[in-house]
Structure 1
Amino acid sequence: MAHLHCLPPSVEPCVSDHMPQIIDMIKQILDNGCAYRVDGDVYFSVDKFPGYGRLSGRKLEDNRAGERVTVDSRKQNPADFALWKSAKEGEPFWESPWGPGRPGWHIECSAMSVAYLGHSFDIHGGGMDLVFPHHENEIAQSCAACSQSNISYWIHNGFVTIDSEKMSKSLGNFFTIRQVIDLYHPLALRLFLMGTHYRSPINYSDSQLESASDRLFYIYQTLHDCQETLFQHNGTYLKDFVPHEIWNCVNKFHDDFKTCMSDDLHTPVVFAALSDPLKTINDLLHTRKGKKQECRIESLSALEKETRRVLTVLGLMPTSYSEVLQQLREKALKRAGLTEDQVLQRIVERTAARKNKEFEKSDAIRKDLAAVGIALMDSPNGTIWRPAVPLALQEYQQVIS
């Protein structure tokens, strides 16, 4: 999580440390007449909560008993769910006013939320599969315990599929984050995940990761080159020297970012909006010498500052551009099965072939490296290499687009 720039939670509570709070909440629900006891078990009565189903949009009559849990004839309504379950032989248990037992699946979430956030708080998250019955039951029991209970926003993320198939161990297409970041930079994975709206299903594939990695390299290379240029001019930033059209670009990006993030965290549109300031930075970095140097530096500074601010909010700001660029190169070499010395040797061979006008050989070398995700870039100062999407995946992306 640290590698992915995920902020650590303030508290990571354990259910087993909060039995008094859980038992107190169940007592409150019983006292308010919204639950009943049966042979050491305590069940929530959904008939006592008229708003049941408001989150998922489901109606009680649509629920078919026995689909998710075994039908219990002791229940007043088949949809009633357990707040406390009496101890079974061999299971862990805690003492309670209703005898030894353990909490039901839902009650601990409500009790621990109240303990740390109070009865009303802003955001509750989880996967789409938790909307019903888990979160539906949370709302019911929380409101039954305290009528002032309220959550402003329910945030449910979509599922992950692998090459358009649902990720599952049974299909053999299940892997961990550690396995992914062994070959791809963690921030490339973060960029990939944020490139799809959180509520939408997301299709994981090597092709998608390669594209995210390539995009990340472009972003950091652009900002690295910008930073180098600013350092050469002592990073001066005089606001009055920034041309009107540059301020328009900066302000538009700022407004687009605010609008997109306010629209249910629409991160994919933010990344689309990022293209304009990056393109403008690249254009300024290659400005003809005849143009005013002061305006160029001031413009670069303004654009870099706003871009850095947005990347920081998105958790995509590295401690060092050059460091993460080198890490992206190392990951690309690992995926290609090459060392940097081998790539440099191929560059030497290609340079010699071009000098000898053996263009077929030089083209073959370039194509062989491109096939494994190593792009050669020619310049007046010589040839350098950078990571790129492998040729086969580029062709595949063109076909599906």
Structure 2
Amino acid sequence: MRDWVEHAIWWHVYPLGFVGADTTGADRTPVRRLDHLERWLDHVVDLGANGLALGPVFESSTHGYDTIDYFRVDPRLGDDADLDRLVEAAHARGIRVLLDGVFNHVGREFGPFRTAQDDLSSPDASLFRRDASGALATFEGHDALVALDHSTDAVADLVVSVMTHWLARGVDGWRLDAAYAVPPEFWASVLPRVREQFPDAYVLGEVLHGDYADFVTRSTVDSVTQYELWKATWSALESANFFELDWTLQRHTDLLATFVPYTFVGNHDVTRLASQISDARHRAHALVVLLTVGGTPSVYYGDERGLTGVKEDRAGGDDAVRPAYPATPADLDPAGQDTFALHQELVGLRRRHPWLHTATTRTLTLTNTVYAYESVGSVPDQRLVVLLNVSDDDATVDATASTVLAGTAHDADGGQGGRWSVPGHEWAVLS
């Protein structure tokens, strides 16, 4: 793990949506829009985050995941100089920058694919995987996404050249899109070549399910997306079933013995937290979990303002969770200020306890509607107690602590600090 990642808290942005670019392919007029995102860097600092995790920024046909040219910034966003300026402005504020590498597949306008279509015997055709019939394969049935052949040296060389090109221009790491669809051995052959030149780069793989630790070990990525914890967090709160969250946190603790997962409660591919959890009183609880357990946490843009949005399985079904942002933070709906203040409070708590990056959890109290756990670091004084209550009634739990750091709790032990009461639908973090 790169040392700086211990302190990283990401603000995740889908750039094409954020800047209001058309993502249907109907209007690809070149417009220099990245300065719009640059105006939000102080917002990242105000949030307390210190990382900007960008979705696709390379030239593509529609939504960014159907790449045309890995070495060119999408003209709907600007040009290479605009991205350089954004990275420089971020670094000036102490903000690291992560790029989205779509290396499992390309779009049908990708130059070598057009050549291969016309002549399957051409050298460019070796970049692409064939299906059982010998035809060029696609990714998960999406005809617009053509699968690369990761068994070839040509694809490995391409990915290394793309990753090192942009790292040399100043970015700090990569998210590997659909990493789960690529053989781990491919990443294990590529990443040492990248790290030979850029040993400080952070590499995160998108993995939905399966044996996360095995994937990390075999692929040599630094981390993977912790979808199990994402699902268990909102689902446990929505269904009042903390047993699901507790079971997943036990698995999460096991993962921390191998790597530090990339944790989140929202991203560009899922329904927003404020739409997943119908009871608004319980949405804060999800953020409490995110920022008090081990992991490298990420906040998806808009979640810090309580935005809603439902992902739908249809054309344009991602639009609701990938909205345009206004010109400046001052133009945001003031209704989201309380949610933003809560994010600031809990991100600040996280920053003051950096050992939480690798903290493990131990269950103190568990019912369907009341959950208490302690997060512990590697030395005795690294310990926080988290109390979550989604019932209508006050809940009293046995937990040794002396101070309420955030949330609402009352000493129910006559000043001894061994029992604490949390009101219905409230939460607290204690030390």
TM-score category (smaller protein): under 0.3
From the CA coordinates, give the structure whose radius of gyration is larger: 1
- Taking structure 2 as the reference length, the TM-score comes to 0.26
